[in-house]
Amino acid sequence: MMWRLRAYYIFIFFFISILSQAQTISGRVFEVSEKKDTTALPGANLYWLGTTIGVSTDVKGNYKLNKVNQNNVLVISFIGLQNDTLSIDTTKLIANFYLSNAKTLQEVEVVYRNPTSQFSFLNPIKIETLGQGELAKAACCNLSESFETNPSVDVNYADAITGTKQIQMLGLAGHYALITKENMPYLRGLATIYGLSFIPGTWIQSIQLGKGAGSVINGYESFTGQINTELQKPDQEERLFFNAYVNANGRNEYNLNLATKLNKIWSSGLLGHFSLNPLKQDFNGDGFLDIPTGKQYNFMPRLNYETKKGYEGQFGGNYVLDERVGGQMMFDRSMERALQPYYGIGINSEKWDVFTKNGFVFRDKIETSMGLQLSFLKHKQNNYYGLNNYKGEQQTFYANYIFQGILGNSDHKFRTGASYMWDSISETYKGYKFKRAESVPGVFYEYTYTYMTKFNVVAGLRADYHNYYGLFFTPRLHMRYAFNDEKSVVRVSGGRALRTANILAENSAFMATSRDLILTPSNFSMPYGLNPEVAWNYGINYLQKFRLNYRDAQFVLDVYRTDFKDQVVVDIDKDPQQVLFYNLKGRSFSNTLQTEFSWEVRKRLDMRIAYRYIDTRTQYSDALLPKYLLGKHRAFINLSYQTKNKHWQFDHTTQWNGSKRLPNTSANPAGYTRANSSPWYFILNGQITYKTGFKKQFDIYLGVENALNQRQLNPIVSADNPFGKYFDASMIWGPIYGRMFYAGIRFKIKRKGE
């Protein structure tokens, strides 16, 4: 442990000693003719308003301009054109400007080459941003379905009955990633599994996907990375957005987003969602619904303000009511369960939360600001699985104060602050009663050094005091180096993480079985009698931009390792009638290698190809085994084409999923056993979108999921006797439903001036 800390601080002091230079923004200035042709514009002048800091473009229209901290207002001038000013997003370090060739400058357009999915070349933390264009490539009904066109995150069904989808990242379950809503912890505790469906896809403005150790600012729980969801903001979204969706299973959804600007300071918005799935279907003939029936009500009002005196903030709340009923086709939810011979499952979730984010920018101090995040949520879960009941209740309060500034100049920045997390969780299931209250105050400090646009490093350390685990430290380090005219970027990262395993909520799939829950405590003073999970994550990332056949191309290589020092092992191999929970005794790790190639094959035709290899192993009671129901190999190709008039959009995704190890069922009698591994299979998805209008836009989209009709045959063990000792609906390695057609419409009214 001590050698890691020494190496960590040696990195910090070494890079502080490097000579510093000012951060810059660079790019090119072009002239746009009446025929919409573009040519480089030499001799154009750019300078920051109210300063003497400026630059002129060279013979190729290139410029490189030092950033200033007084303002972000840039003035652009050229002989024969009237001066104009515009605000610049100073977090971007590359910007191109397009000027019209009229006598009077009528429009200045700032253009960033923003594909629907893009990697940051400048951030030392490897982050991929999925924009609305990426989410619209497929039927993105909620957050769990937002990664269908992304090779980094796996999406699978948790079991064969509840219809719940779960995600996996870097070879580990989704609860090892920190899932946040606008950089505040969101899907934790009881919401770990079912909460992925609580964020409708049409509410999402963008998703930031960060692999590996995250920033210490956001907490100590990030093992494999962070998935941050930015929702639609009242001051940024359309005045009105409506979406309607229906699929072959009868699932229909309706979304309505409203936004209005109340005055120069305040703006308000309302995000609304309703979904209904009334149709019972059993295409595989096992007597169980392929997808449960149910409905969801989801509302989120929010209020934003921004003053000219440096104050800005947001207020909001969210209410979700989600109900699902699954099980056998003949199950009658209105009849007492003990009085009928049919097996049923009911998932009833009710969750509400309130939040506020407030900040202040010190106008008289360069790049200095502070902010406070506050949130409170209450979540109730009331489920039944056959004759067994599960009840859970959670209350969570979160506070995070952040102060940031510079040390001497803008090359040396810091962020520091304090946080507090309080969780109160109670659960009952099969005679078990668990109740705990976690109280965790903490402090953190993060230093960032930047050398031009070639090199930067982020070193962070946080100290937290947990009422169960005592004082613990979380170090994180990220470094980035760019070369080859900044077209090649190498990043390395490392850090520690800690979390409390929520053994019931995170493994609810095993409640849809007849398995007995066997808990082997390590320390009765800890939650569930188990020690916390602790791991180190290390990673290296290489990103290369180049031109192929005169068009932009990009290559990405990721290598990550997660090494557990302590873990709550979920063992379903030792006995097919049991699920065992115990602390790790031995090794547990996950190694991931992923390559990705993207290329604009021709104008408006984008291609992305990826391959991923995962080796995840855990020491179970019998042996060191690969993680069950996790494929080692996955290949991926996505094609997207838009017509010249932008009216038609065509999207296609093919996924190849390799074989997965299945849990050991050899002790079961004949007919109730399963093979040792699953077959490999392909999944093909496609969508066609027709767009019309500009200020008022109307879209129609048609699509198909699983076009090859790939299905897992006999997904439920002992489906003929669900109340027997061999019943198990948790061994899911592939699709249950088969081919799914869907259709939908979108209608939006943009703001004036857009």
Q: What is the pLDDT of residues 207-237, one digit of tens each?
A: 999 999 989 999 999 999 999 999 998 887 7
**226's tokens:** 């962070």
Q: Is residue 322 part of a domain?
A: yes
580 with 704, same domain: the answer is yes
Range list of β-strands (E), 681-749: 681-692, 696-705, 740-749
Q: Which range has the top average pLDDT, 22-31, 325-334, 362-371? A: 325-334
Q: Is residue 754 part of a domain?
A: no
Q: How many domains does the chain have?
A: 2
Short-list 629, 474, 499, 518, CA closest to 566: 499
97 with 132, same domain: the answer is no
595 with 714, same domain: the answer is yes
67-77 burial, b for 16+ CB within 10 Å, e for fewer? bbbeebebbbb
Determine the Cα angle at 137 with ends 133 and 143, to 5°. 85
Write the CATH number for 49: 2.60.40.1120
At 20 the pLDDT is: 35
At 111 the pLDDT is: 42
Q: Is residue 247 part of a domain?
A: yes
Integer Cα distance of 127 and 224 in angstroms: 13
The backbone torsions φ and ψ at residue 503, rounded to the nearest 5 degrees and listed phi first, read -65, -30
85 with 157, same domain: the answer is no
70 with 133, same domain: the answer is no
Q: Label residue 91 by pLDDT band (50, 70, 90).
A: low
Query: Residue 21: which domain range?
Result: 2-111
Give the mean pLDDT of 101-127.
60
129 with 106, same domain: the answer is no
Q: Greatest CA span in the chain, whole angstroms?
A: 88
Question: Per DSSP, what are the bridge partners of residue 277?
Answer: 294
Considering the chain, what is the average pLDDT of its residues?
88
Q: Is residue 216 part of a domain?
A: yes
22 with 125, same domain: the answer is no
pLDDT digits (tens, 9 = 90+) for 601-644: 988 899 999 999 999 999 998 799 999 999 999 999 999 999 98
Q: Is residue 606 part of a domain?
A: yes
Write the CATH number for 185: 2.40.170.20
Give the mean pLDDT of 493-504.
96
24-45 burial, b for 16+ CB within 10 Å, e for fewer? ebebbbbbbeeeeeeeebeebb
Cβ atoms of residues 390 and 429 within 8 Å:
yes
**651's tokens:** 């999207």
**Domain boundary pick from 70, 96, 111:** 111
Range list of β-strands (E), 531-583: 533-548, 551-566, 568-571, 578-583
**Domain boundary pick from 111, 131, 163:** 111
Q: Label residue 348 by pLDDT band (50, 70, 90).
A: very high
pTM: 0.84
**More reliable by pLDDT, 121 or 71:** 121
At 750 the pLDDT is: 80
How does strand 633-642 pair with strand 648-657?
antiparallel
Looking at residue 667, its amino acid is A
Give the rounded distance of the alpha carbon of 649 from its chain centre: 25
430 with 363, same domain: the answer is yes
245 with 349, same domain: the answer is yes
User: By percentage, how much of the chain surpasses pLDDT 70?
Assistant: 90
Give the mean pLDDT of 371-393.
96
Q: What letter does residue 202 receive in the DSSP assignment? A: G
135 with 86, same domain: the answer is no
**Domain boundary pick from 62, 77, 111:** 111
Q: Is residue 148 part of a domain?
A: yes
Q: Is residue 445 part of a domain?
A: yes
376 with 414, same domain: the answer is yes
Other CB atoms within a 10 A radius of the CB of residue 665 amount to: 19
Integer Cα distance of 30 and 96 in angstroms: 8
84 with 220, same domain: the answer is no
Q: Is residue 402 part of a domain?
A: yes
At 434 the pLDDT is: 95
